[in-house]
Amino acid sequence: MATVLVTGGTGDLGSKLVERFAARGDTVRVLSRQARPEPSVGRGASPDEWAQGDMETGEGLWEAVKGVDLVMHAATGAGLRPKADAPGTRNLLAACKEAGTPHLFYISIVGIDRVPLAYYKAKLECERIIEEAGVPWSNLRATQFHALIDGFLRNGMLPALGKVPFIRLVPKAFKFQPIETGEVAERMVEYAAKGPSGRLPDLGGPELLTLGEMAGAWKQATGDGKPLVNLVTMGGMAAGFKAGYNCTPEHAEGKMTWGEWLEGKYGNGRS
């Protein structure tokens, strides 16, 4: 059995990776900036080990990586900290080299080289750093997670948009191919077992939908009473999402649809 370090192990994807590696019998270590929390009922599998460290500064990374066979790099600076991704990845790779060059597996996003979004540019830079680092690596690009789209619709694609009273502003023409997070975690575990593989085939959800279609289904599932109003968007980023450059219809291998995910989260009740 392997010893696996999961960066971002407390997040949506990271926690599902922890569960799946633990189920295989691997020793799982989580890297976090925070001290280990007290065990809580219903939180899923608890990691065997906990390493406190800071990827942005490099503090504690050598200790976190020491003795591991595989690093599943799921930490991200999405939201307010995308600029932290590249320095953090560079520090993590430096620690890997010092600790014996374990296999580093990176999770990335479909279309980051075609949609000019700041966060995507940061992810693309991370890919380049990993490829040139001299550490055994694998890289899987996936489409957006269902939970991410749910957050977009609830809070707005930009934080300020979620605070507009009485309406929900939605760029209805944007296209997405959402996938269930656990399915991505499952595929990552399967690929990781095969060893370093470089750039892997993209992975997408089972259906390509406009955000307008997704918002309509979300509104019905949640009972949200705010009218949906189209948000007019311009520029390269908007053009990329409208063209579906963030989608991979030729790799529509996910199983759970958007409607099924909504049913699982909201059921017949209301949020």
How many C-beta neighbours within 10 Å does residue 124 have?
18
Largest Cα span, the chain: 56
Domains of the chain, each with CATH number or no CATH: 3-144+181-199 (3.40.50.720)
CB distance 103 to 69 below 8 Å: yes
CA 179, CA 175: separation in Å to the nearest integer? Answer: 13
pLDDT for residue 41: 44
pLDDT for residue 80: 45
pLDDT for residue 33: 87
Q: Which residue is it, tokens 């750039």?
A: 199
CA 105, CA 186: separation in Å to the nearest integer? Answer: 13
Angle between helices 258-266 and 211-222 (to 10 degrees): 20
Q: Consecutive sets of 10 residues in the chain, 271 residues long: mean pLDDT of each? A: 94 96 96 80 70 93 96 79 85 95 97 95 96 97 97 77 76 97 98 98 98 97 94 94 98 98 83 47
CA 250, CA 108: separation in Å to the nearest integer? Answer: 18
Q: Is the pTM of this model over 0.95?
A: no
